[in-house]
Chains A and B, each alone.
Chain A
């Protein structure tokens, strides 16, 4: 009995060994793209909307991916100059008064489904962003209580806005060949050159909204609906435009992610990565140079640094901190470039809260208040802050000396020479003491200083400033706050320092910061002369004249001593030099993705 069972076991083993005599076959399969054509880029926030022109989709996370997928009439280079892309189309200012601009898209430009890009696409942008077709306001939109998506009704509501297109109330004219569109502005507008973009294909929007089959028919439907103000159709179109292009994983319907630029989206895994491959039909100048571009998401900059070291990422742009910089600089074969980003730090003085900078505190004596403000800004250690906190991150960083222009932008040097900020606000404590004693003000003056609690850099800025200011005659009262963002403008502080984020070089935006009652004017500053100059600036389209007016405004701002700029935020980009070269990070979105057409994989 027992023997039989052992025999069974033994024979089973033997059989196995006999089979072993012949070796099993090996498998042959491919495992994704070969190494020399793929680049992986790290970013912090996942893509979530193909339409980056909606209020919600308007985020860098979307813009960087769309930058690689969509072409346009112009783009910013790293020096913040606007470069026209004539391989996409041309635009021409045909008249100054009224400001009239004609956009023409080249004949061979097409979406990745083969439909041409034409004026219908531009018309949709105008329809959506101009706001002239909306029949209701944002607050009146009925939203589905379950999904919060605006309800499709008879009311038209495009959830988007544009300061420039809002000035084009007349419906633009489309040329007979359907490739040109002419827009006539109600009044001149300074930033007209950046008004026209084509975020989404018009034919897909209409096809999806109105169940049309043929792309050409869909385009015509849109043009008709806009011209005839067909609200029923427009309501559907608007509805789809608002949210139909939002997705967080690759949609089944390929028409939702068409491309008219260098790359097409080929894969998108929720919260993990997006893969882009060259768009075969793209004939423009800014073409794909790398076969597979993958963008992976990870929020933690140190984790990204380790991933770079481990070869999982080839390029990334972390938030610049000393830790991260040290981490990436310690990695072999990694090139690190320090630069600046769009955000700039500045210090504001509040003029209308009854505090030390408000003339009311001196019984309406403007001169004394002005002297106190001047003394404060003169003593403020801007250079020391930059030397101690910014230079370690970005070699060669300098104090920013202009309210409106970024260091390196066209006209910055002339501005610095003329506005007087660099000569007056030198950090000279004795000069500040002198100003205060001349004005006959009792020192020390209590200044409630608000800043971001938990933000190490800002906490350090405060620590640097406090002793210097004390010497000059100002007692900085620590008003750090986690909710500082929502407290801005509430009058509970006398001075605040934080960063303004710029996403474009549009000159019209600054009116909100310095004009009377402006949205970003949190200090109660009001100067009729400045308001007048801004009104003039906004309708000036010539860049040289714009700079001239900007210089006049800044001179007044410095004379009125309402605040000072401190530094441009440092930015770091790091990449594996054996995997990618020719990276040219730009200060504004799309930052590291700028110049993707020049990227190369070193051999």
Chain B
């Protein structure tokens, strides 16, 4: 194991080192630091050129400059990291990177999480309903999304989800008839197809799902929800109880009455806290830390509630209750955001056009934690949607494939043969093993995103890693470009390494040997 580590470390370092040399020379060939001066007609042009040449030691051979740069990089090992400077703005690259990495993480975290959860979920259902209309539709959709160009999706989203939607919101919105029809057919059809079963069951499922959609839309339409949304205690209650049932079904099955009881207790607690929380929000100076702390607290409470229900399988109840606590506290959080929505949307800087098309925040916007969170979300929603649409498809395909492979294995047949319920077979025996291949894909995927949501960042104007790279390259500034390439090279190596290790840990059949 240690030998494996050492060997990987050595070869990887060598790969990184050689790639930096090649990249340095290539970038140096590609850029022209004097570009902006060449076409200048300024009277002091010669002095400007001299000054630029001296600043960048352009008269030294490229290898000398590379070694200079490498020397600074090796400083990282002795604690004085020097990745060079953006000569145009005199900013050290290390500080540029700090900002860029933060921005990129903010941009991709939610998108990655949602894409993985959705992708896995849809992938599994698609595998379970192999060769049905549902499976074909999902396959069609995922290939369609997979092949869409990012810049095009982004521009369309801006046009329809931001500009047109904002205009719609601004003009006394009401839900149009066609939207009723489309949504009822879509939701009803999706649920029916995903659940499957004989015709009568399908008809019932369609009626239930479509009916629920109709009621929701009517409510939204009739209460002016689009301009002044709120879940109210009823919405929170319905959502909490529904998630309690849903999560219990997945986690232990509804027959486990204690687990169901624990989940419902958590839901009940959440509903009970609805009004007290409003006082808390009023008197409390919220920060992100406090909100996250409350989220963790709710999970702990969930565990405790589960344990309090006791019984021989108390940890199963605890798990179910803790899982339920996540959507329940999430609903309470969302409710508080929604309560603040109208305020946000009508504030002087937003002027009733909440969905933003570029940047991270509205300039000069200051308000409570909730308003600033809404502002961030309003800026995040389009880039996140873009990233989800594109990466979701890949996860669906991977999960579907691996689930199908697992489902066809002998031990699944054995499990079915010995009379286990379908839920146990799928959730406990198939699902976990189906995730193994994903574990090796996800780290690499995330690292790729960290290094390069270039197009998304550019179109939505998030100054993250990708934009730092592109801007520096366009501006003929070599140091940030090299820092970016160095980091991406290191991350790529690390990601592959982590993927190997995770694989070995998850799958006992794989051995990591020297």
Q: Which of A16, A137, A298 is close to B358, meaning CB atoms less than 8 Å apart?
A: A298
| A310 close to B85 (CB less than 8 A) | no
Contacts of A481 in B (CB 8 A): none
* A82 in contact (CB, < 8 A): no
* B76 in contact (CB, < 8 A): no
Q: Give Cα A304 to B41, complex, Å.
A: 29
| A498 close to B39 (CB less than 8 A) | yes
| B155 close to A302 (CB less than 8 A) | yes
* A26-49 at interface with B (beta carbon < 8 Å): 27, 29-35, 38, 40, 48-49
Task: Tell me the minimal C-beta distance from A584 to chain B in angstroms.
Answer: 24
Q: Give Cα A303 to B360, complex, Å.
A: 14
Q: Give Cα A34 to B349, complex, Å.
A: 7
Residue of A nearest to B464 (CB): A271
* B82 in contact (CB, < 8 A): yes
Q: Give Cα A297 to B471, complex, Å.
A: 13
| B282 close to A25 (CB less than 8 A) | yes
Q: Which of B34, B366, B471 is close to A299, meaning CB atoms less than 8 Å apart?
A: B471
Q: Give Cα A380 to B282, complex, Å.
A: 74
* A246 in contact (CB, < 8 A): yes
| B72 close to A272 (CB less than 8 A) | no
| B51 close to A55 (CB less than 8 A) | yes
Contacts of A17 in B (CB 8 A): 272
Contacts of A485 in B (CB 8 A): 32, 35, 38-39
Q: Give Cα A500 to B40, complex, Å.
A: 6
| A19 close to B275 (CB less than 8 A) | yes
Q: Which of B39, B51, B355, B463 is close to A271, meaning CB atoms less than 8 Å apart?
A: B463
* A83 in contact (CB, < 8 A): no
Task: Tell me the minimal C-beta distance from B218 to chain A in angstroms.
Answer: 24
Residue of A nearest to B279 (CB): A24
Mark each residue of chain A from 370 to 414: 1 if its CB lies under 8 Å from any CB of chain B, else 0. Answer: 000000000000000000000000000000000000000000000
| B52 close to A9 (CB less than 8 A) | no
| B282 close to A306 (CB less than 8 A) | no
**CB within 8 Å for A148 and B85 given contacts A16-B272, A271-B99:** yes
Q: Which of A34, A59, A148, A307 is close to B357, meaning CB atoms less than 8 Å apart?
A: A307
* A273 in contact (CB, < 8 A): yes
Task: Tell me the minimal C-beta distance from B259 to chain A in angstroms.
Answer: 13
Stretch of B11-19, B110-118, B263-271, B494-502 at the chain-chain interface: B263-271
| A520 close to B55 (CB less than 8 A) | no
Contacts of A292 in B (CB 8 A): 364
Mark each residue of chain B from 154 to 182: 1 if its CB lies under 8 Å from any CB of chain A, else 0. Answer: 01001100110010000000000000000
* B238 in contact (CB, < 8 A): no
Which size bracket describes the interface of A in this complex?
35 or more
Stretch of B88-96, B291-299, B408-416, B443-451 at the chain-chain interface: B88-96
| A243 close to B358 (CB less than 8 A) | no
| B363 close to A273 (CB less than 8 A) | yes
| A12 close to B90 (CB less than 8 A) | no
**CB within 8 Å for A502 and B41 given contacts A299-B471, A306-B155, A485-B32:** yes
Contacts of A297 in B (CB 8 A): 461
Mark each residue of chain B from 236 to 278: 1 if its CB lies under 8 Å from any CB of chain A, else 0. Answer: 0000000000000000000000000100110011011111101
| A162 close to B358 (CB less than 8 A) | no
* A250-287 at interface with B (beta carbon < 8 Å): 267, 269-273, 275
Q: Give Cα A139 to B460, complex, Å.
A: 41
Q: Which of A146, A299, A504 is close to B458, meaning CB atoms less than 8 Å apart?
A: A299
* A216 in contact (CB, < 8 A): no
Q: Give Cα A275 to B308, complex, Å.
A: 56
**CB within 8 Å for A40 and B363 given contacts A31-B349, A139-B54, A306-B357:** yes
| A139 close to B50 (CB less than 8 A) | yes
Stretch of A93-101, A506-514, A594-602 at the chain-chain interface: A506-514
Q: Give Cα A131 to B46, complex, Å.
A: 14
Residue of B nearest to A482 (CB): B30
Contacts of A34 in B (CB 8 A): 348
| A513 close to B358 (CB less than 8 A) | no
Task: Tell me the minimal C-beta distance from B91 to chain A in angstroms.
Answer: 6
* B309 in contact (CB, < 8 A): yes
Most buried by B among A33, A146, A513: A146
| B233 close to A20 (CB less than 8 A) | yes
Contacts of B53 in A (CB 8 A): 138-139
* A191 in contact (CB, < 8 A): yes
* B359 in contact (CB, < 8 A): yes
Interface residues of B (CB under 8 A from A): 32, 34-35, 38-48, 50-56, 68, 71-72, 82, 84-85, 87-92, 99, 155, 158-159, 162-163, 166, 233, 261, 264-265, 268-269, 271-276, 278-279, 281-282, 308-309, 343-344, 347-349, 351, 353, 355-368, 371, 458-461, 463, 471
Q: Enumerate 22 A-B pairs (CB-CB under 8 Å) in ascending A order.
A: A2-B261, A12-B268, A20-B275, A24-B275, A24-B281, A29-B368, A29-B371, A31-B347, A32-B347, A35-B351, A148-B87, A246-B89, A298-B359, A298-B461, A311-B351, A312-B353, A312-B356, A499-B39, A504-B42, A506-B43, A509-B42, A519-B46
Which 10 A-B pairs give the minimum distances between C-beta atoms?
A: A16-B272, A24-B278, A161-B47, A163-B43, A48-B89, A271-B463, A31-B347, A161-B44, A273-B363, A55-B51
